[in-house]
Amino acid sequence: MVVDCMGHRSPIALQQRGGQKPDGVCVQVGCCATADGFAQWGQTGDFFCTAGDASAGGPSGRARVQHFWQAFPTSSDEENERSTYMFTYLKPSPEMPSLVDTLEAFWTALPGYQRLDGREDPLAELNVSRVVFGWFPTYRRNAPLQPSFDRILSVGDASAVQSPISFGGFCAMLRHLPRLRSGIDLALRSDSLSRDELALLAPYLPNLSSAWMSSAAMTARPYNDRAPPSPIVNQLLEGNFKVMSELPRKEAITFFRDVTTLKTLTAVLVGQTLTMATLLPSVVAEIGALEIGEFGLHLMMLAVYTGLHTVSPDEPLPATGEVSGEDYRRSCYRDAWRYGSGLD
Ligand SMILES: Cc1cc2nc3c(=O)[nH]c(=O)nc-3n(C[C@H](O)[C@H](O)[C@H](O)COP(=O)(O)OP(=O)(O)OC[C@H]3O[C@@H](n4cnc5c(N)ncnc54)[C@H](O)[C@@H]3O)c2cc1C
């Protein structure tokens, strides 16, 4: 059996996708640097922050781009050293800003975001020790990636199991490791290595699919003319954070950890509908009826998976020796309900 863990540019994964274009891309740039002005932030950090509204970007200005920021103190003893990142969600097309454009925008906006802009030449004050840049794709369809061949299974970024909101592929892999470890063990012990049998280890996950809606609302897409500036992402986020601040802390933290469960998603949706009703028509226009309809189906499946997980008892299997194909399949279904409902 081959386990493909060659990341999102894995030749095996690309071959299986047959030229499928990603539905979303997160472009992330940043740096680790020291500057006198950073000391003002002490040990505080920003987890998810905006410093302005969405505005025109890309070569023709037809992409409406919302930049998000993160900033953290580093592990060094120097209190004026910080890691700062800027990222943006894009729907891939030639109208979108490139990685280089995004890095240029980062240097331009960094002094404003970190309040260094009162200084004579804020960028000259930066002593940069490291620059980071990268991009990650997400797929609305065929995620996690279904095996196309017998005996080949994709894991990690190659399988596109990462969330379309946080794009945290490393954390997604850690989260799915127990499921994959026991699933691969049972597949080998039951000799269930055909394409269809391995597909049970890359199951439909309604919580992953329903997370698409949140990222769709923040994703830059091309407009026919120069994109007008828009506060819609900030308004949505402000409303969302207000709703979350009123949720029980446990629920809010679940949501912040990018775990979609029926309970948290319903609470946020009800809160949004009650408090942000006037914003909803523009959000629907921005996202599109088709994606909203699909979201409704995933939400329904999230409820079904939550119910199935709740009523399905654990059936521990022997730790060694052969198991039957039936045991393997039942275990995969139980895992799919558990992980797909966010209750893992
Ligand atoms: C700037 C940036 C910030 C990030 N921040 C976070 C974060 O905060 N939280 C988080 O959870 N995730 C984060 N990620 C994502 C995270 O790094 C990835 O999701 C994770 O590394 C995926 O692990 P992987 O093992 O699946 O793939 P990779 O780490 O990409 O490993 C794939 C390996 O396969 C090798 N390889 C590729 N092709 C071949 C080949 N043909 N032959 C042989 N070897 C090959 C590559 O060299 C590489 O070593 C970030 C990524 C970037 C770029």
DSSP line for 266-298: HHHHHHHHHH-GGGHHHHHHHH-HHHHHHHHHH
Whether the predicted pLDDT of 59 surpasses 80: yes
192-206, 265-279, 311-325: which is most confident? 192-206
> What is d(CA 26, CA 102) in angstroms, rounded to the nearest whole number?
11
Q: Dihedral angle at the C-alpha atoms of 183, 186, 192, 198, nearest 10 degrees?
A: 0
pLDDT at 129 over 80: yes
Q: What are phi and psi of 117, to 5 degrees?
A: -75, -5
Residue 167 pLDDT greater than 80, yes or no: no
By most ligand atoms within 8 Å of CB, the mutation choice from 157, 180, 259 for ligand 1 is 157
Residue 153 pLDDT: 97
pLDDT of 236 > 90? The answer is: no
H or E element that contains 181: helix 169-189
Q: Determine which residue's CA is closest to atom 50 belonging to ligand 1.
A: 168
Q: Indicate which atom in ligand 1 lies nearest the CA of residue 8.
A: 30
User: 109 — phi, psi (to 5°)?
Assistant: -90, -15
**Most confidently modeled range among 172-181, 187-196, 219-228, 241-250:** 187-196
Angstrom distance (rounded) from CA 339 to CA 136: 22
Task: Give the mean model confidence (pLDDT) for residues 236-256.
Answer: 86
Both tokens of 204, joined, read: 């439909």
Mean pLDDT of the chain: 92
Mean pLDDT of the 267-294 span: 86
- Cα(286) to ligand 1 centroid in Å equals 31
Average pLDDT over residues 126-137: 94
Give residue 107 CA to ligand 1 midpoint distance, Å.
Answer: 25
Please give the pLDDT value at position 251. Answer: 83
The average pLDDT across 94-119 equals: 94
How many whole angstroms separate alpha carbon 247 and alpha carbon 149?
A: 45
Closest atom of ligand 1 to CA, residue 156: 26
Nearest CA residue ID for atom 9, ligand 1: 168
In this prediction, residue 94 carries a pLDDT of 93
Compute, in angstroms, the gap from residue 301 CA to the centroid of ligand 1.
30
The pLDDT of residue 101 is 94
- Residue 121 CB coordination number (10 Å): 9
pLDDT of residue 306: 98
Question: How far apart are the CA of 143 and the centre of ligand 1, in A?
Answer: 17
Instruction: List pLDDT tens digits, range 305-314.
Output: 999 999 998 8
Q: Name the pLDDT band for 268 (thresholds 50, 70, 90).
A: confident
pTM here? Answer: 0.90
